[in-house]
């Protein structure tokens, strides 16, 4: 039977534009209109923010059914409130480069939603950064953080500053200038940034140093810190490790295991590194990594010292993977191409948003790939996701698969608040449990009548329910 939204039973008939012959059709039409109207309204207000609209559209379409089963959500205008960030801070970041020239970049922090806990989410330093990207990331982060079940709200920030080709001193001066503006909006119980693309341990160190200089406080105001000053063991590896724990859970739903499988990974940064380490440890063979210049295919497997070499590549600051193929003759470099054309068992997006499109998805399906996991945020385009779901593939979205990174940031916050540090084994055990629990939530809300697990639905509904309930309980303000 067609789904009948409960609250529609009380909706006045004039909210529907057309008369329909049956109440069921009439009610269904109304519910679809409502979500679409919210999206259209958002598009009108933010016409130049495609990534943001993409992220919101995916979530709202996923949660539509449950939303209308809860008239109290509609009454409190939960969705209308949820699709706008609590506040957006934008500021000028001026610094002096090594030649003595004055440089100015744009700085941002999107404090998206703190219904569940302090704003929490990374900083991205990359030339492509704009408000559309940071709003989509903040929106996604809010639901992802809810999925971890730790008390963290959602936020995201960054700058159009690109560390590519910059000296260590230039990066330090930029980080100091950025923090000089942002610090008074942060706090361990207010807003806790971390890393993202272009922000790793080095940048977090410089940002933290300036925060301390300005506040004279040593609190857990940032995560991803060095181990010598409050960082957590396993945090650098956590996004990749968590992703692989999740993927193994996905495979288990079909009686499979990652051991012996071939894996295509995109990217070569922190996330790709952690994913390659854990995939290899679990007995899989990683055969690709990629950069903005193309990808390398290494049929011998990217393991051991080759994984360590990824860190060297990253530290070089050039943002290219071609040197890998020069160093390891077993590998071939494919300029300007994506790894998704290779015939493998598992594909893991570990680079950036919309890095796998409909055409790539078709290759993946034709190649008989078993599982696609997004470890990057919104790695797949809507066309790709539609194809995966249509073909009943094992596919799960970033807000579930990559939640291990921010979850371990949450564990870093707990350790800082208690002035203790846990062993690697303790952190890893908690991380595994969190990923297992996120997978359970996805299955609970995403299992379809035919048994197929729609992880997009599962993750979106579960995250949405938590944020919506938290907002509802705290009233209208
Ligand atoms: O996208 C993400 O979840 C991150 N960049 C990590 C955020 C965090 O606060 O650790």
Q: Check pLDDT > 80 for residue 25.
A: no
Q: 124: Cβ below 6 Å to ligand 1?
A: no
Q: What is the pLDDT of residues 87-131, one digit of tens each?
A: 999 999 999 999 999 999 999 999 999 999 999 999 999 999 999
Q: What is the pLDDT of residues 361-409, one digit of tens each?
A: 999 999 999 999 999 999 999 999 999 999 999 999 999 999 999 999 9
Please give the CATH number for the structural domain made up of 240-401.
3.40.50.720
Supply the residue whose CA is at minimum distance from atom 10 of ligand 1: 406
**Ligand 1 mutation target, pool 109, 193, 196, 208, most atoms within 8 A of CB:** 196
Distance CA 264, CA 461 (A): 29
Phi and psi at residue 316, to the nearest 5°:
-65, -20
Q: Check pLDDT > 60 for residue 430.
A: yes
Tell me, yes or no, if 156 is annotated catalytic: yes
Question: Would you kindly state where each structural domain of the chain is located, as residue ranges?
Answer: 9-82, 87-219, 240-401
Q: Check pLDDT > 50 for residue 21.
A: no
Q: 196: Cβ below 6 Å to ligand 1?
A: yes
Which of 34, 135, 144, 156 is catalytic? The answer is 156
User: Above pLDDT 90, what percent of the chain?
Assistant: 91
Q: What is the mean pLDDT of residues 69-78?
A: 94
CA of 122 relative to ligand 1 center, distance in Å: 5
Q: What is the pLDDT of residues 240-278, one digit of tens each?
A: 999 999 999 999 999 999 999 999 999 999 999 999 999
Q: 156: Cβ below 6 Å to ligand 1?
A: no
Q: 222: Cβ below 6 Å to ligand 1?
A: no
Q: 117: Cβ below 6 Å to ligand 1?
A: no
Q: What is the pTM of this model?
A: 0.93
User: Can 87-219 and 240-401 be said to share one CATH topology?
Assistant: yes
Mean pLDDT of the chain: 93
Q: What is the DSSP string of 376-439?
A: STT-B-HHHHHHHHHTT-EEE-HHHHTHHHHHHHHHHHHHHHHT----HHHHHHHHHHHHHHHH
Q: What is the pLDDT of residues 443-467, one digit of tens each?
A: 999 999 999 999 999 999 999 999 9
Give Cα 38 to chain centroid, integer Å: 23
Please give the CATH number for the structural domain made up of 87-219.
3.40.50.10860
Distance CA 111, CA 321 (A): 34
């Amino acid at each position: 039977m067609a789904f009948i939204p409960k609250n529609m039973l009380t909706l006045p008939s004039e909210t529907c534009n057309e008369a329909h012959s049956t109440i069921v059709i009439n009610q269904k039409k109304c519910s679809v209109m409502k979500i679409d109207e919210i999206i259209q309204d958002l598009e009108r207000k933010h016409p130049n923010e495609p990534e943001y609209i993409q992220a919101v559209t995916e979530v709202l379409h996923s949660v539509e059914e449950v939303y209308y089963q809860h008239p109290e959500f509609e009454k409190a205008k939960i969705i209308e409130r949820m699709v706008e960030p609590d506040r957006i801070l934008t500021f000028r970041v001026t610094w002096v480069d090594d030649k003595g020239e004055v440089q100015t970049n744009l700085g941002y922090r999107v404090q998206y939603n703190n219904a569940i806990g302090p704003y929490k989410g990374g900083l991205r330093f990359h030339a492509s950064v704009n408000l559309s990207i940071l709003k989509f990331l903040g929106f996604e982060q809010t639901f992802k953080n809810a999925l971890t079940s730790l008390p963290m709200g959602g936020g995201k920030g960054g700058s159009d500053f690109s560390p590519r080709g910059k000296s260590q001193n230039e990066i330090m001066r930029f980080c100091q200038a950025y923090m000089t503006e942002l610090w008074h909006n942060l706090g361990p119980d207010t807003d806790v940034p971390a890393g993202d693309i272009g922000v790793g341990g080095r940048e977090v160190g410089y940002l933290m140093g300036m925060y301390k200089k300005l506040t004279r406080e040593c609190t857990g105001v940032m995560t991803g810190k060095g181990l010598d000053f409050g960082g957590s063991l396993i945090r650098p590896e956590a996004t990749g490790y968590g992703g692989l724990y999740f993927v193994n859970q996905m495979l288990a739903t079909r009686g499979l295991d990652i051991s012996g499988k071939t894996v295509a990974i995109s990217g070569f940064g922190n996330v790709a590194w952690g994913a390659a380490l854990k995939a290899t440890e679990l007995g899989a063979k990683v055969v690709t990594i990629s950069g903005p210049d193309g990808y390398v295919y290494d049929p011998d497997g990217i393991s051991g010292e080759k994984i360590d070499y990824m860190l060297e590549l990253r530290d070089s600051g050039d943002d290219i993977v071609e040197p890998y193929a020069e160093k390891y003759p077993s590998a071939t470099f494919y300029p300007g191409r994506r790894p998704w054309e290779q015939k493998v068992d598992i594909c893991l997006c570990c680079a950036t948003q919309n890095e796998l499109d409909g055409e790539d998805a078709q290759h993946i399906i034709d190649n008989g790939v078993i599982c696609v996991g997004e470890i990057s945020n919104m790695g797949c385009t809507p066309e790709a996701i539609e194809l995966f779901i249509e073909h009943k593939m094992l596919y799960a979205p970033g807000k579930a698969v990559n939640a291990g990174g921010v979850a371990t940031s949450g564990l870093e916050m707990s350790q800082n608040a208690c002035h203790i540090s846990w062993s690697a084994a303790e952190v890893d055990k908690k991380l595994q449990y969190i990923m297992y629990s996120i997978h359970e939530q996805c299955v609970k809300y995403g299992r379809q009548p035919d048994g197929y697990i729609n992880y997009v639905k599962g993750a979106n509904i579960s995250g949405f329910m938590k944020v919506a309930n938290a907002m509802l309980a705290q009233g209208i303000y």
